[in-house]
């Protein structure tokens, strides 16, 4: 009732501990303020006061410099005419454009990484609306837009690649930019109006200097950056010494960076929120416990008996789902006791319905040794990954979100889809290792509790920032470790 809802504690919950700004029109985006109600069992972590302060300050920056402001028009004009603004009259506002490409999980990891980089460098974040990024989510910043307007002068930015002459790496390589001054910014250098930051998997030795202090000092003076990554580059930002103090204040709990960024940024639109809540209310709400199982099979053959065996072995070994008794054996638990217990619900997400059908049959045809009833649910089975289809992406987002409402999560290693679900949930998952190939044995152990809920940065840099230090290893930077599922990847713990 309304009395309960207006208690300060309820308001605190509704805004996720101050993470979200108050005052948005609730009807335009139900998910923003209703998500707390659906997360009662799993409230998530509290944001630090400094993160809350910086988010509010960043919202002011987005409003003061974003599309529709005089500052934005001036900045676009300078970009069009190729002027950087220069050191003598620095531009009022600086911008970061984040290109959206590949799967939805990739796009969400890229956008959240871009938000953190924008906050660390006082840039306005503008997300490329391609690939449904403009349609799936509500506006995260009050009173402005996070979407790059269509009149952006660099009309071909979505085609920027490793070969683009204006990439930071190529400008370094071709001596159009230098960092010779070492730690001191380079005031007399003629800097370009924009630089393209290429952080895709094929990024070069020179592109990787993005993760170095000297280069960040130079980049600071370039008004427009256009960034391409399909990864969670945040562990790489922790390698930049100049960001460390601020990162420590923003995130005293290092393993919650994506958790907070994702809950801040990603509010499904009203249609998708309907998909989430109707499914949850119909199939999951009354369960005693909800176990999410995210099945992602990379490769053409989706239906693999070995992956099914891996799921069964993992969930039973980790006591997430009960084992069953052989057909014909007497039940262990008396029917009267059994009826009093609410079922355990398993939410399976996968491109195929094969795994959930098998699990469902198992728990129908056999009694469980614990006497528990197990219900198995899968919202959609899209059969294959599609690009540029709104309804396909809407289902993917609804399923990521439904997974994030679980009490325990089993994910498939290597999958950014699973990374997003675990981060939104605030749950450290059990990760199933990817078998080396289709004919290899079921991995042993079949899964392992991950080291943290953070996504893995799948393609981290290995250069050494001009010999000053080794760039990848938890020995240099506390809280950065190699990932379990991808041994060369980096993640925060």
Residues in the site for ligand GDP, rule: CB under 6 A? 102-106, 296, 349-351, 380, 382, 385, 392-393, 395-396, 399, 415-417
Position closest to ligand GDP via CB: 103
Shortest Å, Cβ 130 to ligand GDP: 14
Taking the least distance from each CB to ligand GDP, the nearer of 286 and 391 is 391
The whole-angstrom separation of Cα 14 and Cα 35 is 8
Backbone angles phi, psi at 239, to 5 degrees: -80, -15
The whole-angstrom separation of Cα 160 and Cα 157 is 5
Shortest Å, Cβ 148 to ligand GDP: 21
Taking the least distance from each CB to ligand GDP, the nearer of 99 and 219 is 99
Taking the least distance from each CB to ligand GDP, the nearer of 144 and 302 is 302
Taking the least distance from each CB to ligand GDP, the nearer of 47 and 105 is 105
Shortest Å, Cβ 493 to ligand GDP: 21
Q: Two tokens at 63?
A: 């409003």
Shortest Å, Cβ 447 to ligand GDP: 16
Taking the least distance from each CB to ligand GDP, the nearer of 149 and 390 is 390
Shortest Å, Cβ 188 to ligand GDP: 43
Neighbour-count burial for 271-293, b at 16+ CB within 10 Å, e otherwise:
ebbebbbebbeebbeebebbbbb
Shortest Å, Cβ 224 to ligand GDP: 27
Shortest Å, Cβ 415 to ligand GDP: 3
Taking the least distance from each CB to ligand GDP, the nearer of 45 and 392 is 392
Taking the least distance from each CB to ligand GDP, the nearer of 19 and 109 is 109
Shortest Å, Cβ 198 to ligand GDP: 19
Shortest Å, Cβ 227 to ligand GDP: 17
Residue the block writes with tokens 């630090």: 48
Taking the least distance from each CB to ligand GDP, the nearer of 393 and 485 is 393
Q: Please answer whether residues 116 and 270 qualify as being in contact, where contact means their C-beta atoms are separated by less than 8 angstroms.
A: no
Taking the least distance from each CB to ligand GDP, the nearer of 364 and 387 is 387
């Amino acid at each position: 009732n309304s009395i309960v809802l207006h208690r300060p504690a309820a308001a605190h919950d509704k805004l996720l501990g101050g993470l979200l700004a108050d005052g948005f029109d609730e009807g335009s985006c139900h998910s923003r303020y209703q998500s707390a109600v659906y997360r009662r069992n799993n409230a998530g972590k509290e944001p630090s006061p400094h993160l809350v302060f910086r988010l509010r300050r960043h919202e002011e920056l987005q409003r003061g410099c974003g599309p529709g402001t005089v500052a934005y028009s001036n900045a676009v004009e300078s970009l069009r005419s190729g002027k950087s603004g220069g050191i003598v009259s620095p531009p009022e506002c600086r911008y970061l454009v984040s290109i959206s490409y590949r799967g939805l999980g990739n796009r969400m990891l890229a956008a959240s990484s871009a938000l953190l980089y924008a906050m660390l460098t006082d840039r306005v974040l503008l997300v490329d609306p391609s690939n449904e990024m403009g349609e799936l989510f509500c506006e995260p910043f009050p009173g402005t837009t996070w979407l790059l307007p269509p009149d952006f002068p660099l009309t071909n930015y979505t085609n920027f690649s490793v070969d683009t002459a204006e990439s930071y790496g190529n400008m370094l390589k071709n001596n159009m930019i230098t960092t010779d001054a070492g730690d001191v910014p380079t005031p007399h250098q003629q800097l370009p109006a924009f630089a393209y930051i290429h952080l895709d998997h094929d990024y070069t030795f020179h592109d990787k200097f993005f993760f170095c202090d000297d280069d960040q000092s130079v980049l600071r003076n370039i008004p427009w950056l256009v960034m391409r990554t399909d990864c969670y580059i945040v562990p790489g930002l922790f390698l930049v010494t100049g960001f460390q103090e601020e990162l420590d204040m923003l995130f005293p709990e290092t393993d919650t960076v994506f958790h907070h960024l994702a809950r801040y940024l990603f509010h499904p639109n009203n249609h998708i929120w309907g998909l989430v809540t109707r499914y949850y209310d119909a199939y999951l709400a009354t369960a005693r416990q909800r176990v999410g199982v995210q099945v992602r099979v990379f490769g053409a053959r989706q239906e693999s008996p070995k992956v099914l065996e891996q799921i069964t072995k993992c969930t039973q070994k980790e006591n997430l789902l009960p084992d069953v008794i052989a057909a014909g054996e007497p039940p262990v638990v008396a029917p009267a006791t059994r009826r009093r217990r609410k079922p355990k619900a398993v939410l399976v997400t996968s491109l195929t319905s094969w795994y959930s059908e098998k699990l469902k049959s198992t728990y129908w045809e056999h009694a469980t040794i614990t006497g528990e009833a197990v219900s198995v649910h899968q919202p959609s089975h899209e059969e294959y990954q599609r690009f540029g289809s709104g309804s396909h992406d809407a289902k993917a987002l609804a399923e990521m979100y439904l997974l994030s409402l679980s009490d325990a999560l089993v994910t498939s290693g290597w999958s950014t889809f699973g990374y997003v679900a675990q981060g939104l949930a605030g749950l450290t998952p059990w990760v199933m290792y990817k078998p080396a190939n289709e004919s290899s044995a079921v991995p042993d152990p079949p899964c392992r509790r991950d080291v943290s809920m953070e996504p893995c940065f799948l393609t981290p840099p290995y250069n050494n920032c001009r010999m000053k230090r080794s760039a990848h290893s938890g020995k240099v930077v506390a809280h950065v470790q190699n990932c379990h599922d991808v041994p060369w990847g980096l993640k925060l713990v």
